[in-house]
């Protein structure tokens, strides 16, 4: 009887050992397979995609600064009023509505030279229009104002803006993403792999600059012809 119990215990131990061994083998397989999957999941390539689009500005803002100087405030103010009327007639003759031109600031200062007091009155008018072609014609004829005695001071200039960026953002982001995938596919081809889905992506900021690359400034006229640019950074999985 004792021998039978010993034999049963031995059989049970063998079965337990076999189950333990099978469990270790299965666990090792699953662990190894998991490591392989993790390794593949970590395989990725980070690339950048570019999208550019030429656009035309849809808003023009022209600021005109001018001033007059003299000994009597009333006379100087009268001179400024004449310049203001000359400017308004100039824009009216070009077909701009009266409301397109609005006051944007004024100032009065006094100074003394050799005991004589002089008064300077400055005025600022601003043209705001979506008629870009008409605005460009006005700038081209600004010396008509000079011939009428209106002297535009430093700081006078026109700026062109593109305000419909939100309308083209989705299409440009998609274009930049396609460009990034093309770069990833070339990398994958060179490394004998394939490109999977997107692991992560970062959209860069949109820039709107002059198409010819120049920046508006003193002595440099702004241009209504702009270039919109965006760069996206995309991390693609590799198969």
Per-residue pLDDT reduced to its tens digit, 9-54: 656 555 555 555 555 554 444 444 433 343 445 688 899 999 999 9
- Specify which of 107-116, 175-184, 185-194 reaches the highest per-range mean pLDDT: 175-184
Give the lowest-confidence range in 83-97, 104-118, 129-143, 225-239.
Answer: 104-118
Spatial contact of 123 and 76, defined as CB atoms under 8 Å apart = no
> Nearest 10 degrees: CA dihedral of 133, 138, 139, 143?
160
Query: Which residue intervals of 94-164 are DSSP H helices?
Result: 132-140, 143-147
Calpha distance 171→52 (Å, rounded): 11
* Residue 100 pLDDT: 95
Partners of residue 207 on adjacent β-strands:
229
Calpha distance 158→136 (Å, rounded): 9
pTM to 2 decimals?
0.72
* Residue 155 pLDDT: 79
Query: Which residue intervals of the chain are DSSP H helices?
Result: 2-42, 73-93, 132-140, 143-147, 165-190
Q: What are phi and psi of 130, to 5 degrees?
A: -100, 0
Token pair for 178: 């396609």
Instruction: Grade residue 110 by pLDDT with cuts at 50, 70 and 90.
Output: confident
Per-residue pLDDT reduced to its tens digit, 130-145: 999 999 999 999 999 9
Instruction: Please tell us whether the domain made up of 59-161 is placed in CATH 3.40.50.720.
Output: no
CA separation (Å) from 86 to 25, 72, 75, 76?
A: 95, 21, 17, 15
Question: What's domain 43-56+164-238's architecture?
Answer: 2-Layer Sandwich (3.30)
């Amino acid at each position: 009887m004792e021998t039978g119990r010993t034999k049963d215990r031995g059989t049970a131990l063998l079965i337990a050992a076999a189950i333990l061994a099978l469990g270790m083998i299965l666990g090792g397989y699953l662990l190894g397979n998991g490591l392989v999957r993790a390794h593949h999941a970590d395989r990725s390539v980070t690339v950048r995609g570019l999208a550019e689009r030429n656009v035309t500005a849809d808003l023009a803002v022209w600021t005109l600064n001018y001033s007059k100087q003299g000994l009597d405030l009333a006379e100087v103010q009268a001179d400024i009023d004449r310049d203001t009327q000359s400017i308004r007639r100039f824009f009216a003759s070009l077909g701009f509505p009266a409301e397109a031109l609005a006051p944007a600031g004024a100032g009065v200062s006094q100074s003394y030279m050799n005991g004589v007091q002089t008064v300077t009155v400055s005025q600022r008018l601003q043209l705001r229009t979506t008629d870009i072609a008409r605005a460009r014609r006005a700038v081209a004829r600004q010396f008509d104002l000079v011939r009428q005695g209106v002297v535009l001071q430093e700081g006078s200039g026109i700026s062109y803006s593109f305000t419909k960026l939100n309308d083209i953002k989705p299409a440009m982001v998609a274009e930049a993403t396609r460009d990034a995938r093309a770069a990833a596919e070339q990398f994958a081809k060179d490394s004998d792999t394939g490109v999977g889905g997107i692991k992560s992506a970062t959209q860069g900021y949109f820039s709107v600059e002059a198409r010819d690359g120049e920046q508006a400034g003193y002595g440099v006229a702004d241009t209504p012809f702009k270039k919109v640019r965006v760069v996206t950074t995309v991390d693609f999985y590799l198969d």
